[in-house]
Structure 1
Amino acid sequence: MWYNDIRPDKDLKNDRYSLIMLDSRKNHFKRLLTDEDKKRTIENLIRLKEGLVEKVPAKKVDDNLLLCSWNIKNFGEIKNRTAESLYYIAEIINAFDIVALQEVNKDISEFKKVLKLLGSHWKHTLSDVTEGSSGNNERFGFMYDSRRVTHSGLSGELVISPEMMNENPIIRQLKRTPSFTGFESGWQKFSIVSLHLHPGEGGNGDGPSDKEIRKEEVKLLMKIMKKKMSKMSFEDRNMIILGDTNIYKEDEDIVELIADKGFVECGGLKGKYTNTSQSEIYDRIFLKVQDYFKIGTDAAGNELGDVFHLFDYVYKNEPSEIKKYHKLMLKHKGNPSTLTSDAKFKTYFNRYWKRDQMSDHLPVWLEIKTNSSVNFLKNTLKKF
């Protein structure tokens, strides 16, 4: 991680340190962090780092790989997201090896800032923006630690061909075109499909309901996945589907469409709420993999995967913490005259401020075992 911007000004010398958190040219590259901001950021980073060490497995050379999926709310579109928050986003990403990002918007300036904070060994892929109002100017991104994992060279988008559709299709393409990317680490070679399905639970007048649209998206996705996997070489068939599925608790019939094609949800994530309100299981990871591809397990044999509850460490729902952001909330709120009491600040902080700074979704992750040599040798020995 690159922490120069949170050094005291007296430590900064023009010929020694470069800075990342600077405003635009039209604002004369003004510094984005005051001394007050720096101290608060450092205190929270220490707490966040301790939480990540406690909740996320350590990275082990030649043994494991940590995969994360995170919908960062309107990443690049929210204009009051602070430099402080970008530090927290980068610190969370840094705890993993591959992070699939949803809701990356057309403007990638914040995406680039986070990459610079992570350091030059962090690489990325980005899909094109899905055009049209339904695509919401969104794209998919991956950030990955090139010391631990490499991009296999496979990269593209999943587009539905006309031949795959019904005679009177509900939809012709997925609302946001999913990305399809290959990676390699140790013994493992695998591909990841990152998706963001149609949201909502309501009806749409005479048209199909939100759930019907989402279900049709999954049906089309499974069709194209079946076709692609049948043409892949054996070693490429480790397939992971992840992202913001917008699948609600009552949408188990949609989950079954995925399970029927042989995809299994990570046991460590199954049934765990992933939105900030802790009410829905939107963000999921499904796998269809070969025998030597294993998810890490704990001493009891439970698969290692979980939701990282970032608001236990930053933007905490405590009066003393909320008070630290009063001035910033007044500065960024459209009508600051409505913030007239601690109770009003608290409501705005929890409903809008912290979600705009970080996200309304929490990161989900799992551990992949990258060394299958023992299982391979044991199985090979049995053949003699």
Structure 2
Amino acid sequence: MQYSLLKHRIPAADRPRVVAHLQRLIAQLDRDIPDKDSERNLLLATWNIRDLGKAGKGWGHGNRLPESLFYIAEIISRFDFVAVQEVNELGPWYDIMAILGPDWDFIATDVTHRKLGGNGERLLYAFDKRKVWFQKIAGEIVLPADMLISATTGGSADKLAQGKQFRRTPFMARFQSGWFKFDICTVHLYYGDERGTELQERIQEIDRVAKYLASLADIAKDNGRATILLGDFNIVHPEHETMQALKKHGFKTPKRLDAPSNLDRTKYYDQIAFIADPTVIDYIDSGPASARNAGIFEMFESIFRPEDLPDYQPTAAATTEGKKATDLAKYYANDWRTWQISDHKPLWVRLNTHHAARYLASLAGS
């Protein structure tokens, strides 16, 4: 982390407060996230960072504050690899990368064409180069004709039109950390509506990406690679059709992540799912409940807390939406701060990457 940038990006009058908030966030991360080590484990996360880069002139919730980018970077820095969804413009992301420092790199998609229903978002992978290396293979998933999605037509509620790609194209790439090789795909799938044809389209998107990757996963396993599918699926809850669409193709999710990840803890939108050697999931779920091998990071315990409203009240009140708010404290808690950080919380797992003993045993038996 390049904390020296605080001197250049945070006004002197604000710096003591920002430093205090960073210190509180660091203490929580120390408590809730395992330490990064050099070779035995990989800390992998997924995070939908709400509308990163979208704020600006005419955007009702105002720009992200410079300090918010330091908080986002601090959280990302505690992992080795992070799949990020909802990156709009790259300017703020480059600011985050500068704060993370030269040990970090990323690879991102272009935006999906708006005629496919995209809304200008990118997907990306950020990784600590000291721990993870990109294996030079990446691509976006394009469905074959017999797997195309039934799209809502905008007409009759029970009428569907055939032949649609994903509204935001899933992004797949290949990486390695230690002995652990993985093909990874991140998504931000269609939400639509809570019922009717738009919900069915959401279910189809989940089904198609899981089916597509499952068709490649056996080849990956034969070559010693895990297949990881993660991101924002807009899954309703673990027993819902949305989750069934993911799991029916063989993907497994860690038990410790069967918990809501949105702001008010009501939705299970974000997931990390695997088709891999059974030891991958066993390692995540093994040990007592207190073992820190997976979790959901509750960032608002340390930053932009309800009691911090006096620090931000003038800024929140000056936004277009803030001026309309009849209850500024409610607007701050439910809306404004989510455009500073996110309305989604980071999900993470710790994966075992030290397989030397297993490999040597295989050589001995060959």
Q: Which amino acid aligns with 1:93?
A: I
Question: Structure 2 CA distance, aligned partners of 1:347 and 1:226?
Answer: 43
Give 1:91's aligned residue. 74
Q: Aligned ranges for residues 1-384 of structure 1 at < 5 Å?
A: 1-7=1-7, 19=8, 21=9, 33-79=10-56, 80-105=63-88, 107-132=89-114, 134-165=117-148, 170=162, 172-203=164-195, 209-229=197-217, 232=220, 234-235=222-223, 237-249=225-237, 252-270=240-258, 272-291=259-278, 293=280, 295-296=283-284, 299-300=287-288, 304-318=293-307, 321-331=308-318, 333-334=319-320, 344-377=327-360, 383=365
Gapped runs of 5+ residues in structure 2? 57-62, 151-159
Give 1:29's aligned residue. none
Identical pairs, percent: 29
TM-score normalised by structure 2 residue count: 0.87
TM-score normalised by structure 1 residue count: 0.84
CA deviations 1:311-370 (Å, max 9, x no partner) are 00000112xx11011222233x11655568xxx331121122111100110111000111
Cα 1:4–1:176 change in 2 (3 A) is same
Question: Structure 2 CA distance, aligned partners of 1:261 and 1:237?
Answer: 18
Question: Structure 2 CA distance, aligned partners of 1:219 and 1:260?
Answer: 8
Aligned length: 348
Cα 1:189–1:322 change in 2 (3 A) is same
Q: Give 1:38 shift.
A: 1.5
Q: Give 1:236 shift.
A: 5.4
Q: Which amino acid aligns with 2:198?
A: D
Q: Look at both structures and tell me which one has the larger radius of gyration over its CA atoms.
A: 1
Contact 2:46 2:346 in 1 (8 A): yes
Q: Which amino acid aligns with 2:112?
A: T
Gapped runs of 5+ residues in structure 1? 8-18, 22-32
Question: Structure 1 CA distance, aligned partners of 2:149 and 2:321?
Answer: 49
Q: Which moved more, 1:296-305 or 1:34-43?
A: 296-305
RMSD (Å) for aligned C-alpha atoms: 2.4
Contact 2:149 2:165 in 1 (8 A): no
Q: Which has the higher contact order (CA 8 A, sep 6+)?
A: 2
Q: Give 1:246 shift.
A: 0.4
CA deviations 1:134-155 (Å, max 9, x no partner) are 2110110111000011011111
Question: Structure 2 CA distance, aligned partners of 1:216 and 1:335?
Answer: 35
Contact 1:292 1:372 in 2 (8 A): no
Q: Which moved more, 1:52-61 or 1:369-378?
A: 369-378
CA deviations 1:158-183 (Å, max 9, x no partner) are 11122434898655111110000111
Cα 1:339–1:192 change in 2 (3 A) is same
